[in-house]
A and B are shown apart, each in its own frame.
Chain A
Amino acid sequence: MTLRRTFVLLSAVLILQTLAHSQATATSKGAHLATAFLIPETTSAINSSTPLSQRVVAYNIEAKYDAARHTLDGIEVLTYHNLTGQPLDRFPFHLYLNSFQPKSTWMREAKAMGSRDVRYEKWEDKYYGADEIKSFEVVGQGDLTSKLEYIQPDDGNKDDKSVVQVVLPKAVAPGESIQFKIKFHDQFPETQARTGWKRDFVLGGQWFPKVGVWWNGAWNCHQFHVTTEFFADFGVYDVTLTLPHYEVVGATGVLVNTVNNADATQTLTYHGDDIHDFAWTASPRYKVGEDTFPGAMGPVQLRLLMQPAHWSQEARHAKILKQTLEHFERWYGPYPYKTLTLVDPEPDSAAGGMEYPTFITGDTTWWMPDGVHLPEVVVEHEFGHQYWYGMVATNEFEDAWLDEGVNSYTEVKILDDVLGRDTSFLDQFGITAGEHELQRLQFIGVADLDPMARKAYEYATFNSYGGITYGKTASVLLTLEKVIGEDTVQKALHTYFMRYRFTHPTKEDFLKTFEEVSGKDLRWYFNQAVYGTQVFDYEVMRVGSYPAAWYEKDVKEKKGETVYESRVQIHRKGEFVFPVEIEVKFDNGEKVREQWDGQDRWTRFTYQKRAKPESVEVDPDHTINLDRDDFNNSRTAEPRAAATRKLANYWNFVSQTLAQFLTWWLV
């Protein structure tokens, strides 16, 4: 019995050992297979001999575009390197094009809140877009198409198909890689949200299944919303596009191969390093301009795809692009990519003003006057995203202000430098507009609605999202210059860029960099400006004076001799507390500067002088861009009606003209 028991025990041990050995062998083979899916270490698309980012993904896509149907069929081989430090058995993917369907979350929000481009009065078939997965295979784990399920992590809208998820039978171990083979079919909509077709033009943006980002210990893969953009991991892209032979094509990355096929198509292969998205465009009518920028890390080939009717503006676009590049490199850090493609999209296509890695779209018209700087503003802004989104890849779903807002700030700084502070947006027929004012004006109407630190899809209104994300952020950073100095803000942004390029920093990373570089505790400011909704509004409440010896009989006032007692009262109308400077100008030309910490609701300054205050101004150097109302920042003792008369003249002229025009046609 004992022997038998011993035999059974020995047998069991042997079996277990055999099992353990075979399992170990299998694991070893599996590990061998997994590590075979290497992310390439290529650097042919960057001016660097080593990779610049921690590459998580490698996309290898072969796609064929049907220009007549606006459809695309593709095969995507996605290699994912698990650097999360834990096994992953669940992978979510964005299918952005599925948002252009009537019941999607994006479309519901667009209908309810309005979108940037289209007023969805009634549904039209041309709005329809789709990204359909035909088959989904995991190498080594088989076909998992049937295991795909749409998920709605943000709003639970079961009709939304912008995110799909797969649960793997076997998890991917930390440090291992996995490969997905996905066949997909796209239907592009008429351009909405910067992707789709218009006439014979197409812009392929967000057109392929894209894996989410493991961020802060969880998958971050939001549904597509009308106010959100994107978030993705860095990696390598190899994309082969087959299109009709007559198309002029532009795309992210470097063109590495062109083949003219026998069936009147062409096949173009692009390669991109250390990027997190891939976009392309095609139109038979682009006129191509080329230029080179001598970048700090190496030459950058600039390729401009212009509409024929805009060709005369090619030099204008190239000029602002190079000026922007030069400023960014000088102020914030080097541009490492070998290419930059600027696309002037089809007119009325709603594809203008968009950024993808090494690929941006401008916005102009054939009649654009030189003094209207819209093309300059758009080109500068979209290029700026190569830094604030492209390289410093913040989460655009959750922290939109970190890309759009920071970018709006650098837009103001660069355009002010290039085109002048008061004329950086408009300088035509004596009518002027500056970027400072433009940013401020965007948010003052919605100043108290939402904090900057709010997820992009949780804003109260579309205007609030735009105003706060772009305008307020720019104004907060412009006003921060008053607190820590313009040079320090620039230095902090440089540090932030150099430290966090090719990563996904958070809002606190950004704010702490400013505190570190300035050496100051700025929480009092950030808590109000970034995390709060306090409205900034200071006003000159009262300016008054009277003869100090008013009680004497027959007081005769004489300029320069009579002593006046004067009072100036400043009021903090809003909740935002901020130290301000006040300038009191007296009628003898004397100017007095006062400081107020703004802690109380109001303060008063009194003077006894042989002069009366002529005017009082809060923030006389105009360094505060956050104030909701600039008109009440100053007050003159006596009314000055010249400006009113001038505007009334204009109004009169328009009224008279309208009256004449109406009358002469009817009588």
Chain B
Amino acid sequence: MSDEGSLISAGLRIVNRHKRYIFWFWVLNLTLAEFGTAAFRNQMHGGLDHSLLADKLLHGFALLVFVELLTRPETGSMTGSTMPAMYFAILFFLTTLLLMPGVLEGYTSEGRLSREEFFLACGRNLWRFVRLLLFFAIIAGPIAGMLFGIKAALVKVAGKSTNEMAPFYTGLLTSLVIFLTLTGIRIWFDLAQVDVGVRDQSAVRKSVAAGFRYARRHLFRLLATYSGIALVGLLVLVAGVWIWHALVRPSSVFGTFLVSQVMLILWLWARFWQRAAAVAYYLRESSLPVPLPAVSEPVPLPEPAAPLVPPTPEGAAPA
């Protein structure tokens, strides 16, 4: 098996060992979105619940009926629906920021973390992850801005060509470059996050540097791993849309719900798989001798005065 394959399978083993994380993040994702949808649901109730025209949306999807529904004065402004959805999306992001250290702690541990250990890791690393986020924003923001600017300029230039396809292919190619660049930066910071957790690193800039070193060492392998898993996510989207369209009856509310949520769970799974692959890679790479700067020589921990746990008699089962 190739290195990429082993990294993918190592990540898959880790993510499958900790499936409950995916479940809880899905619950969180769904719950927050439900809150975010409440305003929209209320708006729809007024127009749809007593109208026979609702059948055109239930037994199919008559686009213009939906447009009329959204534009009738009685429905009210859509800002009232979109803003709560945005707020809860941001809340999901913040909650993930809070909980991700626990997930990574679990992925780097041999066994299953207790609830206390999980939340302890979250609390210990929260501020560090916030700082990592700031570093990420400082680095990725300008790069993304520049790349999107270049893309727009190139597409504009291509638009002057008499070949109609030129702007499309230019856009596609530059989007691919942007995707790979931002994925590379994401890999860098995913590894930095693992480093923060594993090393219990307070000086996050050192983890940023470590993440960069690790990412650069096998960047193409990591990019291939991340892109391969992203491709799985894309296939989930294509398959999901096809099932939704071909197999689920338009009027089946439960069927719609089921397919959409399976897609969302699988996307969560794909992202956690990427994280797990990064953890597997980090653990493998960090076992190699890494030259440490002189100022960061490890300080030996003081020997405990007495063992915290009494030694177990040989052959006896642990308490």
Contact = CB atoms under 8 A, between A and B. Distances in A.
Contacts of B34: 652
A483 interface: no
B201 interface: no
Given A309-B164, A639-B50, A652-B34, A631 B61 contact: no
A308 interface: yes
Contact of B45 (A434, A641, A664): A641
Most buried by A among B55, B63, B69: B63
A646 interface: yes
Interface string A345-369: 0011000000000000000001100
Contacts of B62: 422, 432-434, 437
Most buried by B among A367, A425, A430, A653: A653
A430 B250 contact: yes
Contact of B49 (A422, A640, A651): A640
Contacts of B92: 659-660, 662-663
B49 A641 contact: yes
A431 B62 CA distance: 6
A643 B64 contact: no
Contact of B52 (A615, A641, A652): A615
Contacts of A617: 52
B223 interface: no
B178 to A, nearest CB: 12
Contacts of A429: 241, 245
Interface string B55-69: 101101111111111
Contact of B253 (A366, A642, A657): A642
A interface bracket (residues with beta carbon within 8 Å of B): 35 or more
A36 interface: no
Given A437-B64, A646-B253, A659 B53 contact: no
B118 interface: no
A518 to B, nearest CB: 30
A659 B57 contact: no
A664 B271 CA distance: 7
B37 A308 contact: no
A603 to B, nearest CB: 19
Contact of B72 (A347, A348, A629, A635): A629
Interface in B36-56: 36-37, 40-41, 44-45, 47-55
A438 B267 contact: no
B33 A659 contact: yes
Contact of B267 (A431, A651, A660): A660
B interface bracket (residues with beta carbon within 8 Å of A): 35 or more
Nearest to A636: B50
B53 A662 contact: no
Most buried by A among B30, B50, B100, B136: B50
A644 B63 contact: no
- The binding surface of chain B is classed by DSSP as helix
A307 interface: yes
Contacts of A437: 62, 64-65, 68
Given A434-B64, A648-B40, A660-B271, A643 B55 contact: yes
B287 interface: no
B250 A649 contact: no
B32 A659 contact: yes
B63 A433 contact: yes
Interface in A614-651: 615, 617, 629-636, 639-651
A309 B36 CA distance: 43
A656 B57 contact: no
Interface string B251-266: 1010011001001100
A660 B163 CA distance: 37
A578 B279 CA distance: 72
A586 to B, nearest CB: 15
Interface in B65-105: 65-69, 71-72, 74, 81, 85-86, 88-90, 92-93, 96-97, 100
Contacts of B55: 643
A610 B149 CA distance: 71
A422 B121 CA distance: 57
Contact of B54 (A309, A640, A665): A640
A574 to B, nearest CB: 13
Given A431-B63, A643-B57, A653 B162 contact: no
B207 interface: no
Contacts of A199: 160-162
B165 interface: yes
A426 B160 CA distance: 31
B260 A653 contact: yes
A347 B164 CA distance: 7
Contacts of B63: 426, 431-433
Contact of A634 (B52, B64, B85, B136): B52
A659 B165 contact: no
A651 B81 contact: yes
Contacts of B264: 653, 656-657, 660
A307 B164 contact: yes
A367 B167 CA distance: 13
A533 B186 CA distance: 59
Given A632-B51, A655-B89, A667 B133 contact: yes
Given A431-B61, A445-B71, A667-B100, A659 B88 contact: yes
A654 B40 CA distance: 12
A441 B61 contact: no
Most buried by A among B44, B55, B159: B44
Given A634-B52, A649-B253, A659-B88, A644 B64 contact: no
Contacts of A431: 61, 63
Contacts of B67: 441
A278 B37 CA distance: 56
A664 B62 CA distance: 33
B49 A639 contact: yes
Contacts of B154: none
A516 interface: no
A433 B49 CA distance: 22
Contact of B89 (A200, A285, A662): A662
Contact of B93 (A347, A615, A663): A663
B152 interface: no
B45 A656 contact: no
Contacts of B61: 430-432
Contacts of B163: 309
B182 interface: yes
Interface in A295-320: 307-309
B48 A643 contact: yes
Nearest to B67: A441
Given A285-B162, A632-B51, A643 B60 contact: no
9 closest A-B pairs by beta carbon, nearest first, are A643-B54, A659-B89, A634-B52, A437-B64, A639-B49, A659-B92, A653-B260, A309-B164, A643-B58
7 contacts: A199-B162, A441-B68, A635-B50, A642-B54, A642-B251, A653-B260, A655-B85
Interface of B: 29-30, 32-34, 36-37, 40-41, 44-45, 47-55, 57-58, 60-69, 71-72, 74, 81, 85-86, 88-90, 92-93, 96-97, 100, 129, 133, 136-137, 159-165, 168, 182, 186, 241, 245, 250-251, 253, 256-257, 260, 263-264, 267-268, 271
Interface of A: 199-200, 285, 307-309, 347-348, 366-367, 422, 425-426, 429-434, 437-438, 441, 444-445, 615, 617, 629-636, 639-660, 662-667
Given A630-B65, A649-B256, A659-B33, 16 more contacts: A200-B162, A309-B165, A348-B159, A426-B63, A631-B69, A635-B50, A639-B50, A646-B57, A647-B57, A651-B81, A652-B30, A652-B34, A655-B85, A655-B89, A664-B271, A667-B129
